[in-house]
Amino acid sequence: MADRVRFGPAGNPLDFKGPTVEAPIYVKEEGLDAYEYQAVRGVRIKEDAAKELGKNAKENDVYVSLHGPYYINLASDKKDTYKKSKERLLESMRAAMWMGAKKVVFHPGYYGEKSPEEALKMCIEALKEVVELAKNEGIRGVFLAPETTGKPSQLGSLDEILTMCEEVEMVYPTIDWAHIHAREQGLIKGIKEYEKILSEIEKRLGSDVLKDLHCHFTKVEFTDKGEKTHRLLSEKEFGPPFEPLAEIIVEWDLKPVIISESPTLDRDAINMKKIYERISKKIKEKPVKKGRKRRT
Ligand SMILES: [Zn+2]
């Protein structure tokens, strides 16, 4: 069980110029405690470097996750793409194990010409295969974490992600709040929408999964085709709003890892952490609001 809410950047901090293996040291110095290694263009890190990164993270109490390659499509009609996608996922799990990362985040794929049901079925079969291969290979302590996706053309609605988690062992959700917001045309207005989504996760996957959620957060601009551009936390005209999420995290005593995907990465991770700490202090100092019970 996670000990606290953690914040960190997706990839190397903005002003960090050192070697990637030292990124967790820098992250810690900034007052952050999570880091998502980006293997989005392919898993290129070697075993030695991955282990060094993991050692630096462990010594600095920085939680590491790994974002797998974008070139993954577990619903592809092309046999070769389908096969390579599974291999890329397995490669990602291997690298994650080396660096002590618990979650391999990835985008499941595209519907293409298929119905959502067919695409989901293919994806679930692929995930089962990858999990089996990983187990046979002796990969332990690493979980697959498919992400809610930002475009209606992509497999990865909240419902589909939760189904993958229900159907396949070693699979846990990554909740990308901006993606849900963009995919559903500005769905998240405030605390009600967050409550609804989090309750759904709890209902289907249980309260342990809810408490330990892996999240991505950024403000986002979207069109009718979904996600367009990531925006700064300070840009009030864009959603989703962070404050109500922070509020519910405190009220429900959740301990998520929140990875900032804002254009300013670590800087907005620091800003989110400050907002969370301010709201946490405020809520804990005053009695519980009528009608909304604090759950512990
Ligand atoms: Zn992603």
- Asked if residues 130 and 90 have their Cβ atoms less than 8 Å apart, the reply is yes
What was the pLDDT predicted at 3? 87
In a domain, 110, yes or no: yes
Q: What are phi and psi of 147, to 5 degrees?
A: -105, 140
In a domain, 139, yes or no: yes
CA dihedral 280, 219, 124, 173 (to 10 degrees): -10
Q: Any residues with CB less than 8 A from the CB of 295 and at least 6 apart, and which?
A: 251, 252, 253
What was the pLDDT predicted at 288? 62
Q: What are phi and psi of 72, to 5 degrees?
A: -125, 130
Rg (CA), the chain: 18
Sign for the CA dihedral angle at 210, 216, 219, 225 comes to negative
Number of compact structural domains in the chain: 1
Assign residue 156 a region (left: φ > 0; alpha: ψ between -120 and 50; beta: otherwise): left
What was the pLDDT predicted at 287? 66
What was the pLDDT predicted at 292? 59
Q: Is 168 helix (H, G, I), strand (E, B) or coil?
A: coil
Residue 33 sits in a domain whose CATH number is: 3.20.20.150
What was the pLDDT predicted at 282? 93
In a domain, 296, yes or no: no
In a domain, 130, yes or no: yes
What distance in Å separates the CA atoms of residue 25 and residue 36, rounded to the nearest whole number?
Answer: 13
In a domain, 271, yes or no: yes
What was the pLDDT predicted at 291? 58
CA–centroid distance, residue 187 to ligand 1 (Å): 19
pLDDT in tens, the chain (296 residues): 578 999 999 999 999 999 999 999 999 999 999 999 999 999 999 999 999 999 999 999 999 999 999 999 999 999 999 999 999 999 999 999 999 999 999 999 999 999 999 999 999 999 999 999 999 999 999 999 999 999 999 999 999 999 999 999 999 999 999 999 999 999 999 999 999 999 999 999 999 999 999 999 999 999 999 999 999 999 999 999 999 999 999 999 999 999 999 999 999 999 999 999 999 999 988 766 555 555 55
What was the pLDDT predicted at 290? 56
What was the pLDDT predicted at 69? 96
Residue type, position 107, single letter: H
CA–centroid distance, residue 174 to ligand 1 (Å): 9
CA–centroid distance, residue 105 to ligand 1 (Å): 7
CA–centroid distance, residue 108 to ligand 1 (Å): 10
In a domain, 290, yes or no: no
CA–centroid distance, residue 261 to ligand 1 (Å): 9
What DSSP line would sit under 50-80, residue for residue?
HHHHHHHHHHTT-EEEEEPPS---TT-SSHH
Q: Which domain holds residue 91?
A: 6-284
Q: What are phi and psi of 77, to 5 degrees?
A: -75, -25
What was the pLDDT predicted at 285? 87
CA–centroid distance, residue 179 to ligand 1 (Å): 9
What was the pLDDT predicted at 121? 98
Alpha-carbon distances of 250 from 19, 83, 296, rounded to whole Å: 35, 42, 10
Enter the tokens of residue 173: 């959700």
**pTM for the whole structure:** 0.95
Partners of 250 in the β-ladder = none
CA–centroid distance, residue 8 to ligand 1 (Å): 15
In a domain, 291, yes or no: no
CA–centroid distance, residue 200 to ligand 1 (Å): 21
Q: What letter would DSSP give residue 159? A: H
Assign residue 287 a region (left: φ > 0; alpha: ψ between -120 and 50; beta: otherwise): beta
What distance in Å separates the CA atoms of residue 75 and residue 109, rounded to the nearest whole number?
Answer: 6
